[in-house]
Amino acid sequence: QVQLVESGGGSVQSGGSLRLSCAASGYTYSTYYMGWFRQAPGKEREGVAAIDSDGNTNYADSVKGRFTISQDNAKNTMYLQMNTLKPEKTAMYSCEAEEKYISRWARLLKTAYKTWGQGTQVTVSS
């Protein structure tokens, strides 16, 4: 069973940067799909970025050019580098994983993944 543990959240001023980490364990297969999602108070959970075991990435339009998703296979860890953060991006960020195939167009859909972590809070102040 896949387990995910996020870290790296915190408080930052508008325009600042944070790097989130997601440590994964328990993969059965060498092929997998992972994503970062966020949920702000009173809003739906939305996909931010996704990466697969081959390193293919997807980004939500709202974060392109500012966020970078990456992974360190040796450490079984996925990262999300977030730059130029804005107050409206304050949310609980969580990582999600799936070992069954997810088509490229679906990798930012919240229904695509079956396993997710507890989340890490990101607060951006103005």
| Segment 18-76, tens digit of pLDDT | 999 999 998 877 889 999 999 999 999 999 999 999 999 999 999 999 999 999 989 99
Q: Which residues contact 91 (CB under 8 A, 6 or more apart)?
A: 38, 39, 40, 43, 121, 122
What are the strands, taking DSSP E only, across the chain?
Answer: 3-7, 10-13, 18-25, 33-39, 46-52, 57-59, 67-72, 77-82, 91-98, 115-116, 120-125
